Amino acid sequence: MDAGAWHSLRGSLRGTLHTEEAPRAAASRDASFVVGAAEAVVRPADADDVVALVRWARQHRVPVTARGGGTSLDGESVPVAGGVVVDFSAWRTIEPVDPAARTVRVGPGVVNHDLHQALRPDRWFFPPNPGSWRSCTIGGNLATNASGPRSFRYGPTRRWVHAADVVLGSGETTTLGPTTAKRSVGPELLDLVVGSEGTLGLVTSVTLRLARSPARRCGVAVPIPASASVGTLARSLAANSSLPLAAVEYVDPRVADVLRARRGVHFPGSGALVLLELESEGEDSETASLEALDNALQGHRLVEPATVVPDADRLWTARGEAGAVLADATGPSVREDVAVPLAQIDALLARVAKIAKSAGVESHVYGHLGQGNLHPMFVVDPASEAGRNVRVAVLEAARALGGTVSGEHGVGAVKRGYVAAELGDVALGVLRGWKSLCDPDGILNPGKLLPDSERAAPSPGRLPSRAEGGRTPRE
């Protein structure tokens, strides 16, 4: 890119344009093993800056990749095709809650946990709470349809996004979603943007639906002996409509040991744990719920008593950090995100163990048990051939069990080779059509989500080569 083009971009912005090495390097990677090469970083001052950037990018055929907290695990915010990274992390405005509508309008750079803390005094909350909730942003949650422990009761981000202001890849602006409580004017186009990983438009503000916080939230850590059927327990808890469960989580013995080493939260037993959250409206109802839970756990061959964690948020903060702490201890790892029907949980756990044994690598599993969404972790370099083989094996195992290759982390650059198989040709064609309308020049986050149309998509676990169509829009 010549200096004149950068000069023209800088002159059209109220915000800042950075071409220095340090900000470019920081914006060229996320929490995954994927590494890109940002040519510049734009920190826009307002939506007009975003429009100016997109129009400039169309003119010069430059890729544009949105970035929030950089916590994505499949390279969603990595500029694999180069170009400009637009950094929304400073857009942290939280407007007053509309209590009648039960909504709040926020900037895409608002950190999930910060929003939780801001809403807490008035007993509102935004239910999705990913493990990275202390650093992930609302814009990123929307882009990947993120979930978290409480999705057992409340569902993923898609359920809680009411409207969004979006700058499309065409440079046009639109508001997707209604201003009213409900609307019946054709299909809701907002739903196509949620989970689109910044490939259709750049979100400049989000109106979120809110839920009323229960008076009390307690966590419960249940020790699970090796002889117990984790799948049977998961189905039993999921089917028990009388229990006010908001979350049903699982951590295997090694991950549980990481949690036990933490200060501040006591975790019982010496093996695997099922972690629960119970909601209640007072001390008496909480006591009754704990007694009902104790009765529900009878008959599952559990030999050690459970431990109550009075503040469930502390439990989820500890649980959310477990993967990163374990990765620090073990080194580079393949960290996956697959989901299967609850009836296949035990089969998935067995397949993970078999894959690890066959590959001669250590494995660990944690995740959202109540929804069949687990995160197998294999201690092997994810960029190596062995790492790619392990990833392929676990993704194919999930699909063979009637599941999906991504429960909540998205597709990114790593797993787009599986999108066609999951969606089918007809649905994929609809998605391609929507992409061509919203982003006619293909400048928004190329190399993510959609498989290449002309050539075979890359296998999961590596970036597309130029021979496979992994070219930038300028080529």
pLDDT, residue 1, reads 74
Both 224 and 249 in one domain: the answer is: yes
Number of domains present in the structure of the chain? 3
- Token reading at 443: 């400048």
Both 145 and 72 in one domain: the answer is: yes
Considering the domain boundaries, does residue 120 fall inside one?
A: yes
CA-to-CA separations, 206 to 2, 185, 339, in angstroms, rounded = 35, 20, 28
Q: What is the CATH number of the domain that holds 124?
A: 3.30.465.10
Both 255 and 178 in one domain: the answer is: no
Residue with tokens 């996956």: 336
Both 311 and 380 in one domain: the answer is: no
Both 25 and 153 in one domain: the answer is: yes
Considering the domain boundaries, does residue 314 fall inside one?
A: yes
pLDDT, residue 457, reads 33
Q: What are phi and psi of 332, to 5 degrees?
A: -55, 140
Q: What is the CATH number of the domain that holds 352?
A: 3.30.70.2740
Both 115 and 254 in one domain: the answer is: no
Considering the domain boundaries, does residue 388 fall inside one?
A: yes
- Cβ contact 110:137 at 8 Å: yes
- Cβ contact 85:171 at 8 Å: no
Both 175 and 223 in one domain: the answer is: no
Taking only the tens of pLDDT, the chain with its 475 residues reads 788 899 999 999 999 999 999 999 999 999 999 999 999 999 999 999 999 999 999 999 999 999 999 999 999 999 999 999 999 999 999 999 999 999 999 999 999 999 999 999 999 999 999 989 999 999 999 999 999 999 999 999 999 999 999 999 999 999 999 999 999 999 999 999 999 999 999 999 999 999 999 999 999 999 999 989 999 999 999 999 999 999 999 999 999 998 888 777 888 888 999 999 999 999 999 999 999 999 999 889 888 899 999 999 989 988 888 777 888 888 899 999 999 999 999 999 999 999 999 999 999 999 999 999 999 999 999 999 999 999 999 999 999 999 999 999 999 999 999 999 999 999 999 999 999 999 999 999 999 999 975 333 333 333 333 333 333 333 3
Q: Of 268, 285, 320, which one is at a domain's C-terminal end?
A: 320
Both 82 and 197 in one domain: the answer is: yes
Both 58 and 169 in one domain: the answer is: yes
Considering the domain boundaries, does residue 325 fall inside one?
A: no
Both 158 and 31 in one domain: the answer is: yes
Both 187 and 275 in one domain: the answer is: no
- The Cα 389–Cα 370 span in angstroms is 28
Considering the domain boundaries, does residue 411 fall inside one?
A: no
Considering the domain boundaries, does residue 76 fall inside one?
A: yes
Q: Of 293, 320, 347, which one is at a domain's C-terminal end?
A: 320
pLDDT, residue 299, reads 83
- The DSSP code sequence of 214-261 is PSEEEEEEEEE-TTS-HHHHHHHHHH-TTS-EEEEEEE-HHHHHHHHT
Both 74 and 152 in one domain: the answer is: yes
Q: What is the CATH number of the domain that holds 261?
A: 3.30.70.2190
- Cβ contact 264:296 at 8 Å: no
Structural domain containing residue 250 = 216-320
Considering the domain boundaries, does residue 30 fall inside one?
A: yes
Q: Of 285, 320, 355, which one is at a domain's C-terminal end?
A: 320
Considering the domain boundaries, does residue 220 fall inside one?
A: yes
Kindly report the pTM of this predicted structure: 0.91
pLDDT, residue 453, reads 53
